[in-house]
Chain A
């Protein structure tokens, strides 16, 4: 099995099913259309991983930003209760537009609950195992292009710029069409690090450390090596507004996982160069886990008949150094 084929297959495992993506977009668009009819709304903008193309299976929520006309909300943006007022206002409008008796489309949202920055809107049964939500965040556009959004826990408003990250992600993906799918792969990989790593942290790490063009296997090998150094320093909001993404990150644990992955990836790349694709695929499987495709013969000998069936662990073949000295 060729390495590229294995990655193609694995990508379908990592990606959310097309029907799920379509459903998520439809629900996001429902909010976009509903709030688009509001007189005090300037723009409804998609945000989050779905907008960046880096969403992975399963999609649990989508993010929308409700950018209000500042003249209609003069009291917003001030420290104090206005943050809570803004979220309450959005909650009421969600109910008014999409709730049981919603004027735009009734019976769409079962529960709307203000959180720290956004109103979490349950379109499924809130008591379901993992109910799908749409996060609706009120915002005021600032002269520098950033957004002012409420923050309940600090009793105020903070500046953020999710559009900046979206633009970076879209640009990165446009370069070689490998960025977005590989970010999904890395988001899945983060669960194997043995420590909690935020999805957004992996994404920002990928923006900095993942090559945007070339072969996927080469890009991933480069990512693991570069990220293993990069994590020593804080990983911050690329827009420079929100500070460190995960201040409590266990840097040593993540670095150790990255180093281990880098070791295996280097070995996988070498076997790929030697045209021992089955061995390489098996090694990539050691990094990404049991969901990664297994070579038909277990990947012990680069396609020979002596490999173990079904991925039974067998020795990775080594190759003698050629006695061709160069001075």
Chain B
């Protein structure tokens, strides 16, 4: 497949052509030679109509900087037969329609003489006829003395993005949901990106830190955001990518600002904790259970050897984080962090680790999937039920660990059920 030129028709230009009472007109274009791309920038009805600039198609703003209106094309009303010919020729490279035949179909089309001209045709009839649904409403042709051959064309849709998935994915259901993401480092940043991609309508991002140079090797944010608070930069990145997303930045520490988090939990449907260290996870576990919100905790262990996603729910037979860990500590399958011996919120919980970014993103994506599945099951989405409450993922598995961290092959995933609350647990007892 060779590289082929493309003409981009902004939505406003397409609307003007559709609405025109005339049968033809001209179009101003810019060209981006490096991308072999033409972008329509101006519209004119007939020969004597006013030349009207059209709003640039989304994502094409960069082309405004090159020479404006240096190129010209023409547009013409056509019938379905013309577009059927376009459809047929598109499947037959190096074939073209003889010029005389093309000009019989499009009498208003200009003669190319010894040059090549770009012609756009609009066949309104094809949108009204379900039998013609394979035919494009708009088509582009490169017309020379030899004839007219199909030219690639893309019309900017009026609506795109998550709205395209309506009917295939519960976009409306998720747009009404809110999730708090605690810790937007390498994993949490990916959690937030993934939740936005799933269509969650509101994200509250909570993290006290700024993005610094050492973060960029693993973080979804890049060098352009160094020095900014992670939550601010991530909010801006996500809302640029997903304009309908309501992303909110909270430059807060989940341990020191637990009172703020307690209030936030009343406003959200679920919380994901991707923060470093055990203290933030303990706080999230306790506050979420008391608020009756699902908490999804994700992290990597043993310097990125294993990833873990825990779902904590307020079920009578499912314990909080400490209850679940107590079972592992008590049986010698897991050692508590030494930071636990320090006072509440004391010391530096950050443990530098050597996990590679994509492994962390894999855990972030899985945590987001678990979160969205939890939200959707509550709304009756039968296919979103999980196989367990704890997922262990082998990222760079090391032999010799106790179960459930005894996975031996990279990419292996094991799900486990929750363990019950301890009888004396403050978190799990009824408030």
Residues of B within 8 A of A230 (CB): 378
Any A CB within 8 A of the CB of B266:
no
> Which of A224, A225, A226, A251 has most B Cβ within 10 Å?
A225
A230 to B318, CA, bound (A): 14
Given A225-B385, A259-B385, A262-B385: A211 in contact with B315 (beta carbons within 8 A): no
Residues of B within 8 A of A221 (CB): 380, 382
A228 near B377 with CB under 8 A, answer yes
Interface residue from B292, B317, B378, B385 paired with A251 (Cβ < 8 Å):
B317
Any A CB within 8 A of the CB of B290:
no
A222 to B383, CA, bound (A): 9
A262 near B315 with CB under 8 A, answer no
A223 to B381, CA, bound (A): 9
Q: Mark B313-335, 1 if CB is under 8 A from A, else 0.
A: 11111100000000000000000
Shortest distance between the CB of A156 and any CB in chain B (Å)? 24
Shortest distance between the CB of A134 and any CB in chain B (Å)? 37
B379 near A226 with CB under 8 A, answer yes
In the complex, what residue of chain A is closest to B381 when comparing beta carbons?
A225
Interface residue from B318, B374, B380, B383 paired with A209 (Cβ < 8 Å):
B380
CB-CB contacts below 8 Å: A223-257 with B: 223-226, 228-230, 232-233, 251-252, 255
In the complex, what residue of chain A is closest to B292 when comparing beta carbons?
A233
Any B CB within 8 A of the CB of A201:
no
A154 to B384, CA, bound (A): 45
CB-CB contacts below 8 Å: A249-273 with B: 251-252, 255, 259, 262, 265-266, 269
Shortest distance between the CB of A219 and any CB in chain B (Å)? 8
Given A229-B377, A233-B292: A224 in contact with B317 (beta carbons within 8 A): no
Residues of A within 8 A of B382 (CB): 221-222, 224-225, 262, 265-266, 269
A222 near B380 with CB under 8 A, answer yes
A158 to B383, CA, bound (A): 42
Shortest distance between the CB of B1 and any CB in chain A (Å)? 16
A229 to B313, CA, bound (A): 9
CB-CB contacts below 8 Å: B366-390 with A: 374, 377-385
A226 near B377 with CB under 8 A, answer yes
In the complex, what residue of chain A is closest to B374 when comparing beta carbons?
A229
Shortest distance between the CB of B376 and any CB in chain A (Å)? 9
Residues of B within 8 A of A269 (CB): 382
Q: Mark B299-314, 1 if CB is under 8 A from A, else 0.
A: 0000000000000011
Q: Mark A46-58, 1 if CB is under 8 A from B, else 0.
A: 0000000000000
A230 to B380, CA, bound (A): 10
Residues of B within 8 A of A266 (CB): 382-383
Residues of B within 8 A of A224 (CB): 382
Shortest distance between the CB of B305 and any CB in chain A (Å)? 30
A262 to B384, CA, bound (A): 11
Shortest distance between the CB of B290 and any CB in chain A (Å)? 12
Shortest distance between the CB of B313 and any CB in chain A (Å)? 6
A233 near B314 with CB under 8 A, answer yes
A259 to B388, CA, bound (A): 12
B380 near A251 with CB under 8 A, answer no
Residues of B within 8 A of A226 (CB): 377-380
A228 to B379, CA, bound (A): 11
Q: Mark A306-323, 1 if CB is under 8 A from B, else 0.
A: 000000000000000000
A225 near B380 with CB under 8 A, answer yes
Residues of B within 8 A of A209 (CB): 380
Shortest distance between the CB of A317 and any CB in chain B (Å)? 19
Given A262-B382, A266-B382, A269-B382: A251 in contact with B377 (beta carbons within 8 A): no
Residues of A within 8 A of B313 (CB): 229, 232
B378 near A222 with CB under 8 A, answer no
Contact surface of B with A, Cβ cutoff 8 Å: 292, 313-318, 374, 377-385
- A–B pairs, 10, beta carbons within 8 Å: A211-B380, A222-B379, A225-B377, A225-B384, A226-B377, A228-B377, A232-B318, A233-B292, A251-B315, A252-B317
A-B pairs with lowest CB-CB distance, top 8: A222-B380, A232-B315, A226-B380, A225-B382, A266-B382, A221-B382, A252-B317, A251-B316
Further 13 A-B residue pairs, CB within 8 A, beyond A224-B382, A229-B313, A262-B382: A211-B380, A223-B380, A225-B380, A225-B381, A225-B384, A226-B378, A229-B377, A232-B316, A233-B292, A233-B314, A252-B316, A252-B317, A266-B383
